[in-house]
Structure 1
Amino acid sequence: MRVCVLGGGVIGVSTAYALARDGHEVTLVERHADVARETSHANGGQLSYSYVAPLADPSVLPKLPQWLFSRDAALRFVPRLDPHQWRWCAAFLRACTRARSRATTAELLGLGFLSQRLMHEVVEREALSFDYVRNGKLVVYRDQEGFEGARHQAEYQAKLGCVQRALDGAACVALEPALAHIGGEIVGGIHTPGEEAADCDQFTRCLARAAQRDGVNLQLATEFSGLRTKGLRVLAAQTSQGDIEADAFVVCLGFQSQPMLASLGVHVPVYPLKGYSLTLPNANAQGAPRVSVTDAHHKVVYAPLGERLRIAGMVDLTGMNPHADDARIALLTRQARETFPNAGDYDAIQTWTGMRPATPDSKPVIGATHFRNLWLNTGHGALGFTLALGSAQLLADLLAERELPIDGDAFAPGR
């Protein structure tokens, strides 16, 4: 089958790779001169297979006033005269129930464990170089209430197959000595030894080369403008290099999926959550963490990538503007300095801003639309790198009408 994949981020490239390995003739369309130039370029770097609990949870409701009125909040919401933003927010609030949060956690863990298994297979099969380490993850808490909530969550996830353990503050510092500077503030942490870290940009580019060896045609520097349809079939993707005809089309365009598909009457509940990252080059071996660390208080993640340290955080629900807010970058830098002051030369940091394509319930949208040959693989929020390979395999299985490794209905469009 001829398949056209739209979008060259980690989701699009993973999808093209999975489909090519199934024997399909795949063309991937990307507007930039290389893959992974936008949201996949400098994300947090943590492969958090066990940390997929949705943002929509009853515990967030008391925090809504802070999100509205504080510029320093980890999640900042700025209301817009945008019906799509308000529809997304209303759906998010409806998802903030304990029952839905628990069910979503179980579904995302299934997709996460599938992705982890596939990552191990890809690493074994392909000669990829992307600063990949199986270094575990430590989430540290500075307040007892947050730590107790995390312990209860870990107990629930243990029933679903997660291997995690709760540590007191001293044990957290013993596990990761670079935390000593804030050791007196840490009341406890959750350690997950099976978590991993890697450079998403390098992974995506290496996987794209592997996909090319499997026959994928990478059509780079090609602007996509729309889909030409007839009845309930897509005939071609309209691009700056001419129409691309195919038997099936897969949309992996992140937050841009929503406006593109809306013109076809396909509703995708995806809205951009702007995030920020810093990359600290030549990280100090003694002052930077070797374990992946998440500071739960500030909602900031730290991932060692070779000799670099990736620092990422913030969620801005502020509209479709992709440009960085300098005040948010400054805040993230200050929080990182306070947590790991000896990690390296903060004056040499590289900054990045990306638009995470999020759904209200935090689950990606994977599956068929009402068009007979139009498929979606989008809406992964901050978990695109973590869930990419599992999502691609699920999409390939659905297209091939094979038995599914997990419940596909949980991620179906229109669920």
Structure 2
Amino acid sequence: MKVIVVGGGVIGVTTAYYLAEAGHEVVVCDRQKAPAQETSFANSGEISSGYASPLAAPGVPLKALKWLAMKDGPFSFRPKFDPKMWLWLARMLRNCTAARYAANKAIMMPLAEYSRDMLRVLREGTDISYDERSQGTLQLFRTQQQLDAIASDVAVLDKFEVPYEILDAAGCIAAEPGLAGGHQKIAGGLRLADDETGDCRLFTERLAELCAQRGVVFRFGNGVHSLDHRDGRVRQIDSTDGHIRADAVVLATGSYTERFMRKLHQRVPIYPLKGYSLTVPVADAESAPVSTVIDETYKVAITRLGDRIRIGGTVEMSGFDLTLYESRRAPLERSLRELFPGAGDLREAHFWCGLRPMTPDGPPIVGRTKLTNLYINSGHGMLGWTMACGSGKILADMISGREPEIDVRGLGPERYWA
């Protein structure tokens, strides 16, 4: 079967890899000149199955108001005259109940854990390298109040049998020795030893090379404009390079998936929330993080990637605006200086932003649309790197007529069409 994958980020390339492994003829189309040039380019580097949770959670509306009042808070809102923005926001707020949070998290965590396992299998089978580390994630709490508030999260970890440690300040420093030189009080931490880290862009580039060796054709610089459909099926895609026919099409187009589906009169509530990152060279290896440390106060993740440190954070609701606002740089720099002073050379920092494709309930959209040969693999939000391999394998199994290896109920686009 000939399958076109639209999108050359980590989701599209992993999907192409598993489709090729299943024996399909695969073509990947992307408007950029190389893989992983948009949302996958400089994310925070976490592969955090243990932290796979919906953004829509109890208490988030009140927290968001508090964050907006902070000078360098983790949430920024730039309202626009855009009905889709307000409709998405209303849908997200409806999911901020304990019952819906629990139900959505119960869909996301198995997918995240399956994806981590698939990544390990892929790594062992291909010897792919991408500045990867398997040394866990430490969620760092600066106040006792933050530490006391983790009971509900720990209960979920217990439910899904995710190994974890609750650490005091000394335990946090033992896990991340660089914290010993920090300027902030540490109340404690929650450490998930099974979490991993790695450079998403580097992984995607190298996996694309492996895909090409397996016969996948990459057509970069080839923007897809629309999908030509008839009799309930996609017949071909209309692209910069002309028409390309296919037996099946996968939309792995991130935040832009909604635009493609709207043209087909099938609406999916995917909306972009912008995130920022800094990438800095390591200046002092002994002061640098070993793996990922999440600064709970500012919702900033600090990750070691080889001889670099990636600092990522901020949820900014501003539509498709890719402006690099300097005001969002300050909290990233502050977290590194306060927790790991001297670890990185901020004078050489690369400042970046990307659009995270968010669904209002939390789980991504992985499944078939109303057109019998059109599939979506999108809406992973801040967990695209975490869920990429699992989502790609699931979609390849669906297209190949095989039963996915995990329960996929709640992942398909049909949940929005009732």
The TM-score normalised by the length of structure 1 is 0.97
For 2:385 and 2:283, the matched residues in 1 are separated by: 23
> Are 2:123 and 2:129, in contact at CA under 8 Å, matched by a contact in 1?
no
What runs of 5+ residues in structure 2 fail to find an aligned partner? none
Written as runs of structure 1 = structure 2, the 5 A alignment for 1:85-234 is 85-182=85-182, 185-234=185-234
1:183-208 deviation per Cα after TM superposition (whole angstroms, max 9, x unaligned):
75211100111111100011001111
Alignment-mate amino acid for residue 340 of structure 2: F
Q: CA RMSD in A?
A: 1.4
SS in structure 1 of the partner of residue 166 of structure 2: strand
Q: Can you list the C-alpha shifts for 1:122-145, whole angstroms capped at 9, x where unaligned?
A: 111113121111011111111222
What SS does the corresponding residue of 1:284 show, helix, strand or coil? coil
Structure 2 residue matching 1:401: 3-state secondary structure: coil
Name the structure 2 match of 1:10. 10
Q: Distance in 2 between matches of 1:126 and 1:365?
A: 28
Q: Which runs of 4+ in 1 moved over 4 A?
A: 67-71
Shift, 1:180, TM fit? 2.0
Give the equivalent residue in structure 2 for 1:404.
404
1:318-350 residue CA offsets vs partner (Å, 9 max, x unmatched): 111112111112332233222221112111111
> SS at the partner of 1:377?
strand
- Unpaired runs of 5+ residues, structure 1, are none
Asked if the contact 1:280–1:309 (Cα under 8 Å) also holds between the matched residues in 2, the reply is: yes
Equivalent residues of 1:5, 1:16 under 8 A apart: yes
Q: CA shift at 1:155, angstroms?
A: 2.9
User: Aligned partners of 1:298, 1:235: CA distance in 2, in Å?
Assistant: 48
* Aligned mates of 1:335, 1:83 — CA distance in 2: 35
Deviations 1:346-390 (A, max 9, x none): 111111111111111121001111111111000001110110000
Contact 1:74–1:299 (8 Å) recurs in 2:
yes
Contact 2:118 2:389 in 1 (8 A): yes
Of stretches 343-352 and 403-412 in structure 1, the one that deviates more from structure 2 is 403-412
Q: Given the alignment of the two structures, is residue 361 of structure 1 paired with residue 361 of structure 2, yes or no?
A: yes
Contact 2:366-2:413 at 8 Å conserved across structures: yes
Q: How far is the alpha carbon of 1:98 from its aligned partner?
A: 0.8
Aligned to 2:46: 46
Distance 2:149 2:267 in 1: 35
Deviates more, 1:316-325 or 1:245-254: 316-325
Q: Distance in 1 between matches of 2:70 and 2:269?
A: 26
Deviates most, 293-302 or 154-163: 154-163
State the 1:70 CA deviation: 4.2
Deviation, structure 1 residue 104:
1.7
SS in structure 1 at match of 2:413: coil
Contact 2:232/2:372, CA 8 A, preserved across alignment: yes
In the alignment, which residue of structure 2 is the partner of 1:333?
333
Determine the structure 1 residue equivalent to 2:314.
314
CA drift at 1:68: 4.3
Amino acid at match of 1:334: R
In structure 1, how many angstroms separate the alpha carbons of the residues matched to 2:327 and 2:183?
27
Report the alpha carbon displacement of residue 67 of structure 1 after superposing the two structures with TM.
4.3
8 Å Cα contact 1:151-1:166 kept in structure 2: no
Residue-pair matches, total: 415
SS in 2 for 1:58: coil
SS in 1 for 2:150: helix
- Which position in structure 1 is the counterpart of 2:295? 295
Alpha-carbon deviation of 1:49? 1.1
Contact 2:72 2:330 in 1 (8 A): no
**How far did residue 69 of structure 1 move?**
4.4
Matched, 1:272 2:272: yes
Structure 2 distance, partners of 1:233, 1:68, is 45
2:347 aligned partner: 347
Is the CA contact (8 Å cut-off) linking 1:377 and 1:395 kept in structure 2?
yes
One-letter amino acid of the structure 2 residue matched with residue 393 of structure 1? K
Deviations 1:203-250 (CA, angstroms, capped at 9, x unpaired): 001111111122111111112111111132111111111111001000
Return the letter of the residue paired with 1:390.
Answer: G
Residue matched to 1:237: 237
Give, in whole Å, the separation in 2 of the partners of 1:7 and 1:408: 22
